[in-house]
């Protein structure tokens, strides 16, 4: 089965969507599926205002059509609601092709914080985008329930996963008992990094924080750390490759996920897969994911004092950290390992291919269509 996935998020971006799609492509090879990606590569792009490090493509209709037709997909999935997503959606509607979409990011709230545009307007745009989808893929039951209450229809469950062979404990790698790790963009208020830094000021040394985020001079985490008096205990690691990220998870005493909202919470799952306990905000999909994995504690991370109290408690209790780490690894293997997730993904697309009313795009050129993940 040939699946084309259209995505605005792609390398060199470092985020959960990119890591998820990359892992899915690797897992597809074991299922006889061929996944090809239609990405921003080859299109002109522009920097997204208020979002350092992120660029959006400017796709043209002719090249989008060429890439889709060259791929000749049996199924089309649109992973993001950016310019690539809208362009592929338009092609599918013009050619009466069925497609699926994913809802992963809380764009209406994100845009509202930066522009003042009411979230109601953002959700109206998102409902319009996804209304033409055969199925809107969501990763958690909590997100499916919320979107249903907001008027989204045709919601399907497609959890995300983690490569448990890559993200796994390493008994030979010693833990740093004072190291806190957070994977998130400080420039995104939703990620709660400011609350974490304020909490760190209430956790005594030698506790320190490594933040996986762009290390540019204007990163707001620098200013927050200075004002909180913890600048010497905060390190911004910059963008890191996957092997470095795994190493950080394995070294950390705790991984903190203070996000106000997550549609899934991949860093929490990756941390638990590495046997590292998690302190996460009790909001969005994080309670569902952390409870399923069983490797963490939930707090009101909007309150730095509550977050600091949970961190202090676990840093002082080696046994509790070890027990949570073991439980988390076991839970992630059972619920979120990629072989299980990828098999379910293949089943979903097989069902959609069998039931679709449209037909695959016919090949009009032999040129390479994009990034082929399997053959």
At 288-310, the pLDDT tens digits run 999 999 999 999 999 999 999 99
Q: Quote the domain boundaries for residue 251.
A: 179-335
- Average pLDDT (125-149) is 95
Confidence of residue 347 (pLDDT cuts 50, 70, 90): confident
Confidence of residue 53 (pLDDT cuts 50, 70, 90): low
Q: How far apart are CA 14 and CA 302, in angstroms?
A: 25
Exposure string of 305-332, with b = 16+ CB inside 10 Å and e = fewer, is ebbbebbeebbeeeeebeebbebbbebb
The verdict on 128 and 273 lying in the same domain is no
Confidence of residue 364 (pLDDT cuts 50, 70, 90): very low
The verdict on 361 and 253 lying in the same domain is no
Query: Does residue 172 belong to any structural domain of this protein?
Result: no
**pLDDT of 344 over the 90 cut:** no
- Average pLDDT (186-208) is 96
Confidence of residue 193 (pLDDT cuts 50, 70, 90): very high
**pLDDT of 43 over the 80 cut:** yes
The verdict on 288 and 354 lying in the same domain is no
The verdict on 341 and 331 lying in the same domain is no
Which residues 6+ apart lie within 8 Å of 155 measured at CB? 135, 136, 138, 144, 147, 148
pLDDT at 131: 97
Query: Does residue 128 belong to any structural domain of this protein?
Result: yes
- Average pLDDT (328-339) is 94
More confident residue, 198 or 11: 198
The verdict on 235 and 345 lying in the same domain is no
Q: How many domains does the chain have?
A: 2
Query: Does residue 207 belong to any structural domain of this protein?
Result: yes
Mean pLDDT of the chain: 90
**pLDDT of 244 over the 80 cut:** yes
The verdict on 258 and 284 lying in the same domain is yes
More confident residue, 38 or 263: 38
Query: Does residue 171 belong to any structural domain of this protein?
Result: no
Confidence of residue 29 (pLDDT cuts 50, 70, 90): confident
- Average pLDDT (213-231) is 96
The verdict on 202 and 331 lying in the same domain is yes
With helix as H, strand as E and coil as C, how does 213-265 read? CCCCCCCHHHHHHHHHCCHHHEEECCCCCHHHHHHHHHHCCEEEECCCCCCCC
Confidence of residue 52 (pLDDT cuts 50, 70, 90): low
Can you list the alpha helix ranges (DSSP code H) found in the chain? 16-28, 61-71, 83-94, 107-115, 119-131, 141-149, 193-200, 220-228, 242-251, 266-273, 286-293, 304-315, 318-335, 338-355
The verdict on 147 and 269 lying in the same domain is no
Per-residue model confidence as pLDDT tens digits over 247-276: 999 999 999 999 998 889 999 999 999 999
Q: What CATH number should be reported for the domain holding residue 293?
A: 3.40.50.2000
The verdict on 56 and 89 lying in the same domain is yes
Query: Does residue 170 belong to any structural domain of this protein?
Result: no
Query: Does residue 287 belong to any structural domain of this protein?
Result: yes
The verdict on 295 and 360 lying in the same domain is no
Per-residue model confidence as pLDDT tens digits over 70-107: 999 999 999 999 999 999 999 999 999 999 999 988 88
Query: Does residue 40 belong to any structural domain of this protein?
Result: yes
pTM: 0.86
Query: Does residue 248 belong to any structural domain of this protein?
Result: yes
The verdict on 328 and 214 lying in the same domain is yes
The verdict on 132 and 50 lying in the same domain is yes
């Amino acid at each position: 089965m040939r699946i084309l996935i259209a995505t605005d998020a792609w390398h060199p971006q470092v985020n959960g969507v990119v890591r998820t799609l990359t892992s899915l492509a690797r897992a597809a090879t074991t299922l006889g599926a061929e996944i090809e990606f239609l990405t921003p590569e080859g299109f002109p792009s522009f920097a997204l205002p208020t979002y350092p490090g992120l660029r959006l493509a400017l796709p043209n209709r002719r090249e989008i059509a060429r890439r889709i037709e060259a791929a000749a997909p049996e199924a089309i999935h649109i992973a993001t609601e950016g310019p690539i997503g809208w362009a592929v959606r338009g092609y599918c509607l013009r050619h009466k092709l069925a497609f699926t979409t994913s809802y992963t990011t809380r764009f209406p709230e994100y845009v509202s914080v930066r522009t003042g545009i009411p979230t109601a307007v953002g959700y109206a745009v998102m409902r319009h985008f996804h209304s033409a989808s055969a199925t809107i893929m969501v990763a958690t039951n909590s997100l499916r329930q919320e979107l249903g209450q907001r008027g989204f229809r045709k919601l399907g469950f497609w959890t995300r996963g983690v490569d448990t062979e890559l993200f796994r404990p390493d008994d030979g790698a010693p833990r740093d008992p004072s190291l806190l790790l957070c994977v998130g963009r400080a420039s995104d208020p939703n990620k709660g990094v400011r609350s974490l830094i304020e909490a760190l000021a209430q956790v005594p040394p030698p506790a320190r924080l490594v933040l996986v985020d762009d290390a540019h001079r204007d990163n707001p985490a620098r200013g927050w750390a200075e004002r909180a008096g913890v600048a010497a205990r905060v390190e911004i690691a910059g963008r890191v490759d996957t092997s470095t990220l795994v190493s950080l998870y394995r070294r950390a005493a705790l991984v903190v996920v203070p996000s106000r909202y997550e549609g899934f919470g991949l860093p929490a799952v990756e941390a638990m897969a590495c046997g590292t306990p998690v302190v996460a905000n009790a909001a969005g999909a994080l309670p569902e994911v952390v409870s399923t994995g069983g490797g963490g504690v939930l707090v009101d991370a909007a309150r730095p004092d509550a977050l600091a109290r949970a961190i202090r408690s676990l840093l002082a209790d080696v046994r509790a950290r070890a027990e949570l780490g073991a439980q988390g690894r076991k839970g992630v293997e059972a619920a979120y390992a990629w072989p299980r997730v990828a098999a379910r993904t293949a089943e979903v697309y097989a069902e959609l291919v069998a039931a679709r009313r449209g037909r695959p795009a016919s090949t009009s050129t032999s040129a390479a269509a994009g990034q082929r993940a399997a053959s």
